[in-house]
Structure 1
């Protein structure tokens, strides 16, 4: 989460009465994350997360997010619940931006999770994928492989001069992802697509909620699992933690066993998931966005994870 758009107190005080949450007590920008402007809002009746959408999302896409969070929360998965106004609407405009207001969950995230925490995330993700069976809305992946070629093309002139070996790696990985994963039919449905440790909140060892569904979309389940495995089970230098990997996969499979096609696709999915974040972080580093409090995550960790997956097969020992 970041802050690109400043919210004035006068504007917020004029906007809030349409919600039955009381008057504002405090508004604080949240710097973690990358895409939208986020604030922690404290009112007379509790704490909330205020998100101003900075991307060109249509109301239909925002309604997908609202519907998905409500669908999951009503089925017992801990996640934020959208707050509707007195007319039952959850999508509004504030500071000339589409705006969502959701409940603020307790707990805190862990930058370096342990195996028990990774296991709980595996179980939560499997439950989400199970819930996809009864969720009928769809949204195309806004950060899927159709975007990757354009991002790489924009970075190519600099990479040719500064790091031609990295350019070769990214090109090869992109070709592999398109042929070995995204050209293959596999089970799919609503996915989180950004399940990093900073998007999970714990009270000690207990998972209390998963947040930030703004990348959620209709995608292959094995790719969503791969995103989470890379995020939760590798360190900053790109080395896997065997215990976390084993616990997370076992917990996932206890709720949703991987069918044979997903077992075959796990290695290319891990590579594609690493490529996705290597590309986006490298692109953000080369072409940074402007804002008031902006987080830019370095790409090196995901470049290392991508290299690891190109050279090793961790999927086979997990079978």
Structure 2
């Protein structure tokens, strides 16, 4: 989450008049994240998340994203509902951009999860895959291997090297083999595709919220597991936390067993997950406006994870303890 478009209190108050949510008490911008503009909105009735959808979230995808939230919430997944306006619309428009009001869920995001919490996240991800299986909406992955190539080409070697000399070298060495070897035909359905710790809310050992579904799409379940593994299994210094990685895999496998074909593909999928975030972080690093209320994220964090999965992926994804 982040703030690129700055709204006044008056604008937010006027927007809320279209909903049965009470009167505005306060609104606070959220700096974390990179994709959309977000506020925590407090009214006389409850607390909500207000989101303005920026360039990367396509308007035509909003019925899919917001419908998926409602579908999963109705299934009992810990996913926030879309708050519909008095006309039943899931989103409105402010300053020429779509905007939605989302249920606020309790809980905190974890900066240093323990093994029990990681296992709970694995279970929640697997259950999400099962609960979304009968969702009627479809959406292609707009951040797949072809898009990584386009983004990194757009960045250019010189600008990548300006971020870090090792960044351009890693892209040159790893991108083509990942794209060339990318697996096909694995079990697929609706995936979250961005389940980082800041997109999971917990209370104690319980997952109370899975949020920020704006990269959700049709994709390989094992790729979603690899993305989540890459997002959760490393500490702030980039060191692999073996207990966390193993617990996350165990939790997922307990709810939706991973096939041998999926397991064999996980090392490559994890390398691809790292490359996906190298591409988007490098692109955002170069193109984020200087006045945006957003924390730019270092693509080198995922270069280090890419190197780890290249060297150790076969050992990491053995699933010996889950068999």
User: Does the CA-based 8 Å contact 2:193-2:227 persist in structure 1?
Assistant: yes
**How far did 1:165 drift?**
5.0
Please say which of residues 160-169 and 307-316 is displaced more in the overlay: 160-169
State the Cα RMSD in Å: 1.8
Aligned pairs, number: 318
**How far did 1:143 drift?**
1.9
Partner of 1:155: 156
**How far did 1:218 drift?**
1.1
Partner of 1:276: 276
Partner of 2:182: 181
**How far did 1:22 drift?**
0.7
User: Does the CA-based 8 Å contact 1:64-1:138 persist in structure 2?
Assistant: yes
Q: Say if 1:290 and 1:143 are closer, same or farther in 2 by CA, change over 3 A.
A: farther
1:250-308 deviation line (CA, Å, top 9, x unaligned): 11011100112211110001100011112221222233334441121112221111111
Partner of 1:312: 312
Partner of 2:110: 110
User: Does the CA-based 8 Å contact 2:52-2:99 persist in structure 1?
Assistant: yes
**How far did 1:11 drift?**
2.1
1:226-272 deviation line (CA, Å, top 9, x unaligned): 11001111123332211111111111011100112211110001100
Partner of 2:235: 235
Please say which of residues 268-277 and 169-178 is displaced more in the overlay: 169-178
CA distance in 1, matches of 2:63, 2:96: 18
Q: Say if 1:87 and 1:243 are closer, same or farther in 2 by CA, change over 3 A.
A: same
CA distance in 2, matches of 1:290, 1:92: 27
Q: Secondary structure of 2:124's partner?
A: helix
Pairing 1:1-319 to 2, within 5 Å after superposition: 1-55=1-55, 57-153=57-153, 154-159=155-160, 165-182=166-183, 184-313=184-313, 314-319=315-320
| TM-score, normalisation: structure 2 | 0.93
CA distance in 2, matches of 1:3, 1:164: 30
CA distance in 2, matches of 1:151, 1:138: 24
| TM-score, normalisation: structure 1 | 0.94
Q: Secondary structure of 2:212's partner?
A: coil
Q: Say if 1:17 and 1:163 are closer, same or farther in 2 by CA, change over 3 A.
A: closer
Q: Say if 1:29 and 1:172 are closer, same or farther in 2 by CA, change over 3 A.
A: same
CA distance in 1, matches of 2:230, 2:15: 40
User: Does the CA-based 8 Å contact 2:35-2:56 persist in structure 1?
Assistant: no
- Name stretches of at least 5 consecutive residues in structure 1 with no aligned partner: none
User: Does the CA-based 8 Å contact 2:226-2:273 persist in structure 1?
Assistant: yes
Q: Say if 1:213 and 1:163 are closer, same or farther in 2 by CA, change over 3 A.
A: closer
Please say which of residues 231-240 and 196-205 is displaced more in the overlay: 231-240
- Name stretches of at least 5 consecutive residues in structure 2 with no aligned partner: none
**How far did 1:114 drift?**
1.1
User: Does the CA-based 8 Å contact 1:237-1:304 persist in structure 2?
Assistant: no
